[in-house]
Amino acid sequence: MTLLGTGAMGTALGRAWLAAGHPLTVWNRTPGRTAALTAEGAVAAGSAAEAVAANRLVVACLLDDASVGAALDSAELAGRDLVNLTTGTPADARERAAWAEKRGARFLDGGIMAVPPMIGAPGAFVLYSGDAELFEEHRAALAVPAATEYVGADPGLAALQDVALLSAMYGMFAGVTHAFALLRGTRVAPGDFAALLVPWLNAMAGTAEETAGRLSSGDYTTGVVSHLGMQVAGSGTLLRTAGEQGVSTELLTPFLDLMRERAAAGHATEDTTGLVDLLRTR
């Protein structure tokens, strides 16, 4: 197989394939960056076109969609199976699929849900969407660096869910950042607080399933359990505590403002699920 891009992620992927015994042709824009993989048995091609010509299965793991276009511009793609593990938007993936198919290649888009040290270890997975036959044919090779999750024929679906997962992660990072800021300079050791925070976040993560259930049923009401009215009333305590600790509320207020708006619009007995709809009305 061929791997285009031997940056941090490409090198991790390449190592996993080589370790599993897959012959690998590699290409990188800056040739020196293929050294780690050639030392482990990969063959370096002099150009992307040469690398693409070497194998039917071509995996691209480049910086962004524009770099995929730049790298493959002069390559002959007819008869190739192009698997694009470069992070992009759903529209990027759909346009790249049409571009590849017009040039005679089958196309599969992938969203890597891991950082390089996780590659080859349990917990890493890649979301795939696009050509189902390509996926089935190369499933065993694709499963070497990370578990595979095929999410549909629409090439944009992997990128959409990749970005949705990353967006949820950034929301969590924002909350964790605010929490540590509240405690900074106090007698609470960061490590002691982390021991409380991790199980708390794990317990709260389960609420995503409740949200999914409410979005499916259309019934957002929760009765007396943590409804928006109660949460909006309680939010004053969060803001006052931030003030007491000298911490900006800028990471908190966007979400609290949406809760207040939704509650004021007559939805005080619902949980936060209605904020999903509110965001889509802007």
Footprint of ligand NDP (CB under 6 A) = 5-10, 28-30, 33, 61-63, 67, 70-71, 86-87, 112, 115-116
* Residue 43 or 256 with smaller CB distance to ligand NDP: 43
Using alpha carbons, select from 158, 154, 56, 162 the residue that is nearest to residue 98: 154
* In the complex, least distance from residue 159 CB atom to ligand NDP, rounded to whole angstroms: 11
CA–CA separation, 269 vs 227, rounded Å? 5
Q: Which residue in the shown chain puts its C-beta closest to ligand NDP?
A: 7
Using alpha carbons, select from 217, 214, 241, 216 the residue that is nearest to residue 228: 214
Tokens for 172, please give them: 């969590």
* Residue 17 or 220 with smaller CB distance to ligand NDP: 17
* In the complex, least distance from residue 112 CB atom to ligand NDP, rounded to whole angstroms: 4
Using alpha carbons, select from 153, 162, 69 the residue that is nearest to residue 111: 162
* In the complex, least distance from residue 51 CB atom to ligand NDP, rounded to whole angstroms: 12
* In the complex, least distance from residue 49 CB atom to ligand NDP, rounded to whole angstroms: 13
CA–CA separation, 65 vs 72, rounded Å? 11
* Residue 87 or 272 with smaller CB distance to ligand NDP: 87
Do the beta carbons of residue 201 and residue 173 sit within 8 Å?
Answer: no
Using alpha carbons, select from 101, 65, 103 the residue that is nearest to residue 84: 65
* Residue 30 or 217 with smaller CB distance to ligand NDP: 30
* In the complex, least distance from residue 4 CB atom to ligand NDP, rounded to whole angstroms: 8
- Give the ranges where the chain is alpha helix by DSSP (H): 8-19, 35-38, 48-54, 65-72, 90-102, 132-137, 139-142, 156-183, 190-205, 207-217, 228-245, 253-262, 274-280
* Residue 29 or 260 with smaller CB distance to ligand NDP: 29
* In the complex, least distance from residue 23 CB atom to ligand NDP, rounded to whole angstroms: 20
* Residue 81 or 109 with smaller CB distance to ligand NDP: 109
Task: Provide the angle, in degrees to the nearest 10, between the axes of the packed helices 207-217 and 190-205.
Answer: 30
Number of Cβ within 10 Å of residue 2's Cβ equals 27
